[in-house]
Structure 1
Amino acid sequence: MIPAVVLMTLLWSTDLQAQSVSPPDLQAQSVSPPDLQAQSVRPPAEYSVRLVDGTTSCSGTVEAFNEGEWSGVCFSWWRMMGEIKFVCRKLDCGNPVSESGGPLTEDGRIGVTLFGCSGDESSIRQCDRGGRRGFCNGGYYHHVTCSESVRLVDGAGLCSGRVEVKSYQSWASVCEADFDRQDAEVVCGELGCGAPAALQGGLYGEGEGQTWDKEFQCKGKESLLLDCDTSDRENNTCLPGNAVGLTCSEPDDVSLVGGGSRCAGGVEWYDQGAWRTVGTLSDVMFTAAVVCRQLGCGSTVSALPGNTTRGFRVSCSGSESSLRECRRMYDLLPGLTVICSESVRLVNGAGLCSGRVEVKSNQSWASVCEADFDRQDAEVVCRDVGCGAPAALQGGLYGEGEGQTWDKEFQCKGKESLLLDCDTSDRENNTCLPGNAVGLTCSEPDDVRLVGGGSRCAGGVEWYDQGEWRTVGTLSDVMSIAVVVCRQLGCGSTVSVLPGNTTRGFGVSCSGSEPSLRECIRTNELRPGLTVICSESVRLVDGAGLCSGRVEVKSNQSWASVCEADFDRQDAEVVCGELGCGAPAALQGGLYGEGEGQTWDKEFQCKGKESLLLDCDTSDRENNTCLPGNAVGLTCSEPDDVRLVGGDSRCAGGVEWYDQGEWRTVGTTDWNQRDVAALVCRQLGCGSTVSALPGNTTRGNGASCSGSESSLRECRRTYDLRPGLTVICSDLLVQPDIYLTDPMGGVFRGHQGPEMFRGYNFTITCSTQPQYPGGSFLLTFTSSNRTQTQPAVNHSAAFLFPAADDSHQGNYSCVYDNYVFSHNFSSESELLSLNITGN
């Protein structure tokens, strides 16, 4: 017998089943009328993206929805993996595999721009230049292929990261036990990378979502990971730290040809079925660094422009894992010839000539133990990587390597061309203790000089390139280039930099942080030659600009800090003058940190009038130690090389700059006016900017500032026509004067300032210099809320007080107000303290 509850359940289920089959009239009602259908179809969200005309849902030509229609996406000719990563991630399609110029439409067709993406944005509009609608120059739309069902995340590039597989529209990490080398070969191939290089659980962290519940059983030849056989996992748990991480080698799509080895020659890139020349007009060393890294060829030794050929224009930052992650475009550019060190490299250093020494061993890189490496070995390495002589050699100087340690002891004689040409012997002890991976600092190469200036630290800048000395010039970055030149030559701080004649040579652009000029961006177009004067024997380091920092003096080709006890204000006056700065403003031990090297062992005894610090007399120090925190720091005021003229105030007028013996107009572009004006007001001690207006176009310095500089000479500048700039600063009005008088002799000078006898009349007078007509004076009394205002007559106002009493005792000040240049300005006097005493 069926229980009542079960019977009711069966009947209810049968009834629901019966209801699910709609009668004909109800079925007809389920088809919405045309107008209702139209209402139910919602348009895509603005700036949605899709891929069309591809072989899968994750490949095809990129389109974006904008202003009611789907349009092709213009990549502004530039192509970068950041933009492609954005598309793949936005469509939940894994990693980028390939990209190419898509259908070549008619030139100038309307499209949506996609440029300046990191890959992590949620909308096109969040990219630097994304979402603008306009003509696609060149007519290129883009074809993209994404990996669809597998991706590598949290890695350093496109070919490394934690393995994740798409499962039911979400991503799952894979357990190390369920994934072997043959599986890795399939994933690396599917993502367009080279062979697997490293495979390990926890290598790239743990995933936040689920874990894939199958074991892969690939044979290694499959095209896609999901084409591989799978089996149920023996154990359905994956312990923490076992989410598999994979590093694939970079793809074999870059080669160096015609240079005698695989690590030297002209750069070529395999693209769309053909090898094409790679060139650049700038970023030469950055591009070369990426090429050497991708090929596993060690450090960059040199990078030279070649002939102009049709191929990729490439622009790299230097941090990319492979050339395909750099920006690129198709136009004529000089081809690039690169020479890499091949079997040795310096890593984790500040530039090309410093870092931890690593040697290539069985296709992987090994650090070298300090005990197995001496100065003669260092001489060979420095020469091998295109640098100067060794400057520092120490274990742990640039950290520990993550891989293996070289198991031989080098026995170089110092004359070999390559480190691997040196003899080696087995190590006595096969262990290398932590902190002993050898770090090396080489001096910069002797490929820069200053000529015609009377010393090795002054003159026109020249660069040795392709067998000859060439002029170096620039249209901007003048001070930044000079800083790098002085640093590379070991010539202290920059004193001045002047443009020379226009000559054929390198156009150079530096940030100022590069260790050598060869690491700056360069071009082969005409630029004004550059003349630089360096301080040679003294410098200020770790300061905020050219006129502040820790004082260091050159001693036996190295730099030594100076002890506070050995350096006084007269010494500081000489240093500030030598560096082209103003008078000393602050002098204190430890103000800019401690130096890492030696301490100067003499006491300076300058008279303050010497031209150079090393022209001053010195004496032996009484105490040969300098306690920590006593390395002297110096802040000089900025030089008097900027002024505002024609505004009846030193804080208002047209900007002029003293350059090459004359005052010149300073101009700038519209977008940079406020930054230049803010810097001018700050340098002149004139407060903040009230207004910045363009003047007439005049011949003078074009200036471009970020606003963070200490003085105008630290800005980029050019020598082309720029609109002159008129600036008004907040401290436009000079400080007014305030003084006390009385007609009856009741005022006298007491111990604490002016005093007044009770009962006498007195007058407080406010006055200012005759800058502008009109205005008014406000007299404030700080002991109460009482104020009085009078118009300025002949630039002054008198406030009369009859019969002084105790209520008049306190502090008074004058505030001068005036309305000029369509703005209200004010300036306050110093305080006047008044004491009331007996009759």
Structure 2
Amino acid sequence: MVGGQDSRQLCLVDRGGPCAGRVEILHQGSWGTICDDSWDLDDARVVCRQLGCGEVLSALESAPFGAGSIPIWLDHVYCERMESHVWQCPSQGRGRHNCGHEEDAGVICSACSGFIYLFLSGFVCLVGEDGPCSGRVEVYSGEDGIPVSDGNFTLPTAQVICAELGCGKAVSVLGHELFRESDGRVWAEEFRCEGEEPKLWSCPRVPCPAGTCHHSGAVQFVCSAYSEVQLMTNGSSQCEGQVEMNISGRWRALCASHWSLANANVVCRQLGCGVTFSTPGGPHLVEGGDRISTARFHCSGAESFLWSCPVTALGGPDCSCANTASVICSGNQTQVLPQCNDSVSEPAGSEASEESAPYCSEFLALRMVSEDQQCARWLDVFYHGTWGGVCRNPIDDITMSMICRQLGCGDSETLDTFVALREGSRPWWVDGIQCQKTDTSLWQCPSDPWKYSSCSPKEEAYISCAGRRPKSCPTAAPCTDREKLRLGGGDSKCSGRVEVWHSSSWGTVCDDSWSLAEAEVVCQQLGCGQALEAMQAVAFGPGNGSIWLDEVQCGGRESSLWDCVAEPWGQSDCKHEEDAGVRCSGARTALPPTTAGARPTSNPLPGIFSLPAVLCLILGFLLFLVLIILVTQLLRWRAECRALSSYEDALAEAVYEKLDYIVTQKEVLLGSSGTH
């Protein structure tokens, strides 16, 4: 049994393990269940903590692990997260309830499974790494999950599973997944659902012949909130009209913002209507704004279905009835196809440059801001070139779990409301975030439109994730940004592979988007002068450990690499063959031999021919020219002075000679006169 003495009065049963199952407690020598009235993650968190089973993954209702046959000891349990035992939580009292065993509460704790996501509803779940609404089908019967074979598995059966899990509709049956040789178990029944059953267990089932189901692997499929597409029109053609999509069971018109020819081509192909003829201003058949979706699709044009395209919904702009997306496909025979030299009309709404900008250019990023904690404190989102806060209304458990998972901080979380206000001024970009199970990232979650002041400072989101822990440094805490950055594999202390300290370990930076601007921030942060080169393609040898940062984008004036925009910590599609490096001007030695594969991105000239050196040479040359001009002028002035002085001396000498001659002549005349 997991846990100590106190845990022996609490257990989880009918799951085949101690950390997931129906909650039962011991009272007066008898075991009993807990009613699911008011049962939530706070209550389940106390159970997981009391059993020593890690963090809570799910708080389940409606007897998902089967109905008990013992007393119901507790009802309306209200835990406040900090209790160490479930019986410390307020309730209606022992044995007081108005429930039946079909309302027995259940719990799944993080120690129960190695899967990244595991959401159980009834006795079926989808197991995979892309969220609870896609993956391999597994069913439960009081034991571990058993995969279902792909033999005779039908789309109506997939629709029943998606609906039961609250995941929308089945949009794609993926290729089969081979069974592991070490695990030959396969569910020994075939499900024959018609599509309208409320749960998979309600569907007709027949045993597989000879107890063995024909299969080539385990069935897997994808559920989505986005499913069918149709074109609404006042005319007779089914291949032109206003684009509408079934989103979470409701038909909604799509907004023309971000609507592109690529999107329109996917719609025409999906409906079997050829290619796009034009995307005119919509027929505007909607009457209420609540029927318009702000989801933005970013198709390449090669997709077979609109739901296959990347989609963003966070911060979607308001859309008016006069700005709905429309399409005329080539399959509409009432229209004349354009000639080769004709141009297809531009998508509606393309004049709004900000709204119609292409996708992965609207750079979005998420971070937590704290001086002393990892995975806890204020939440920031990067939008419109600036970091800003996130408003906490009406962030729920699904949304908080999404945020923590996207930051690599675990699955469970708490939203703190009684905290001091954050200092400084900033925008509060977004409010009203409401994620659904079908969303696989925060950017897919619907919310209110982006605004500079979406809420007041006191409504800013302050979140603590399961991965919360004190920040640590390589030497001692608290550490400075300079101590969390180093260069490795270089020829001096100011050149080498960029390495950062995060989550108690050193890791590298991917060279995607790596340029001289990022290198300049690194060099300044390390006190190594100016950046001479931004090196890519493992110029200083591959690092090891995690690749902590990817798609780093700095302006060049940031005081720290942590102030630059980047993908969330640890989320990268790179290998160590793409580790970024820098060469700074400070403390340089002789350059090492050229490394194979080195690709300096910003300054291909080594040594003194770097950009700063070239600028210094040009400035020095200009100063030298000015000096030459000044010296030449000085010498000319001195020569003129000498010439003038010589002329004056010669003139004076001539005058003196004339005077001397006159005096001499006068003396001769006077002498002659005296003789006579």
Question: Which protein is richer in strand relative to its size?
Answer: 1
Larger radius of gyration: 2
**Whose relative contact order is higher, 1 or 2, with alpha carbons under 8 Å and at least 6 apart?**
2
Higher percent of residues as helix: 2
Same fold (TM over 0.5): no
